[in-house]
């Protein structure tokens, strides 16, 4: 498609389970970002991929969070042993060059 | 780290009124961006600014990249009910990293 695609759009899981969130960036976009947005809050940077460079993981809140990206395509964000405070919308964005980011609609994660 | 202060946090205005919101940063940015987020959706780009002093319009929206490169404002003229949403500013650093403000929630009364 033409935009950033995220799946699933909603995910409900039990505390302690692992979850995997997927992001398909816009074709040709070399940069990919993950953000977390808690209810009524702003965007919290998690991780940034740029081409084949080592990712900037400085925003990951704990070692339960990890992300991978295959080349310049799909990325997955994995949260292990989920906790209730992980409940949020996880947004993915992509860009190229010095152009602005374009966002997907997010995955709404609810931890019971 | 970089700090972005966005104000006001929320606004309640009457349809037809003009709106102004702004962002200030502790560091300089190469690009300033303004996004709007509707409930259940991701942020959508409204305006991008690439040069200090740049003033850009998009319909009823006008935004400026501050001369110091540490601030930006967004104005909305003659507001309408569909302007309701959360507006975010964002700055892009030298390392192609984006920093977001905490958002301005706009409510428009018909």
Please report the sign of the dihedral spanned by the C-alpha atoms of residue B65, residue B66, residue B67, residue B68: negative
Whether the predicted pLDDT of B24 surpasses 70: yes
pLDDT of residue A95: 92
B98 contacts chain A (CB < 8 A): yes
Collapse the DSSP code of B2 into the 3-class scheme (helix H, G, I; strand E, B; otherwise coil) and give the result.
Answer: coil
How far is CA B78 from each of CA A35, A88, B57, B83, rounded to the nearest angstrom?
Answer: 32, 34, 14, 10
With residues binned 3-state (H G I as helix, E B as strand, rest as coil), the percentages for chain B, rounded to 5, are 5, 55, 40
Interchain CB contact of B32 with A (< 8 Å): no
Residue A71 φ/ψ, nearest 5 degrees: 55, -125
Q: CB neighbours of B82 closer than 8 A, spacing ≥ 6? A: none
Name the residue of chain B whose CA is nearest to A104's CA. B42
Q: Where are the alpha helices (DSSP H) in chain A?
A: none
Q: Tens digit of pLDDT for each residue in B2-16?
A: 678 999 999 999 999
Mean pLDDT (chain A) is: 94
- Which chain B residues contact residue A33 at CB under 8 A? 98
- Confidence (pLDDT) at A97: 85
Altogether, the residues listed in chain B come to a count of 110
Residues A102, A108, A111, B3, CA torsion sign: positive
In Å, how far is B90's CA from the nearest CA of chain A?
Answer: 10
Query: What's the gap in Å between the CA of B23 and the closest CA on chain A?
Result: 13
- Contacting residues of B for A43, CB less than 8 Å apart: 43, 88, 100
Q: Please compute the mean of the pLDDT values over residues A3-13 and round it to a whole number.
A: 96
Q: Which of A100, A103, A104, A106 has the most B C-beta neighbours within 10 Å, making it the best mutation to test the interface with B? A: A100
* pLDDT value, residue B10: 96
Residue of A nearest to B30 (CA): A98
Asked if B41 lies within 8 A of A105 by C-beta distance, the reply is yes
Nearest to A45 by CA among B18, B109, B1: B1
Residue that has been written with the tokens 């400085």 in this structure: A58
The tens digit of pLDDT for each residue in B60-75 reads 999 999 999 999 999 9
Interval A41-82: pLDDT, tens:
889 999 999 988 899 999 999 999 999 998 888 999 999 999
Question: For B40-98, what is each residue's pLDDT tens digit?
Answer: 899 999 999 999 999 999 999 999 999 999 999 999 999 999 999 999 999 998 777 88
């Amino acid at each position: 498609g033409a935009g950033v695609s995220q799946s699933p759009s909603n995910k409900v899981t039990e505390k302690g389970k692992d979850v995997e969130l997927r992001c398909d960036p816009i074709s040709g976009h070399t940069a990919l970002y993950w953000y977390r947005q808690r209810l009524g809050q702003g965007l919290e940077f998690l991780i940034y991929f740029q081409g084949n460079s080592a990712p900037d993981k400085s925003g990951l809140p704990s070692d339960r969070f990890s992300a991978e990206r295959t080349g310049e395509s799909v990325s997955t964000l994995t949260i292990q042993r989920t906790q209730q405070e992980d409940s949020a919308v996880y947004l993915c964005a992509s860009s190229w060059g010095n152009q602005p980011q374009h966002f997907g609609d997010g995955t709404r994660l609810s931890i019971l | 780290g970089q700090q972005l202060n966005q104000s006001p946090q929320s606004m309640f205005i009457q349809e037809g009124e003009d709106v102004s919101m702004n962002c200030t940063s502790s560091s300089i940015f190469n690009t300033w961006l303004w996004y709007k987020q509707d409930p259940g959706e991701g942020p959508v780009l409204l305006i991008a600014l690439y040069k200090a002093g740049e003033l850009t319009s998009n319909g009823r929206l006008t935004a400026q990249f501050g001369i110091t490169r540490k601030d930006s404002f967004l104005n909305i003229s003659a507001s309408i009910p569909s302007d309701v949403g959360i507006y975010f500013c964002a700055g892009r650093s030298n390392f192609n990293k984006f920093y977001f403000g905490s958002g301005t929630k706009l409510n428009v009364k018909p």
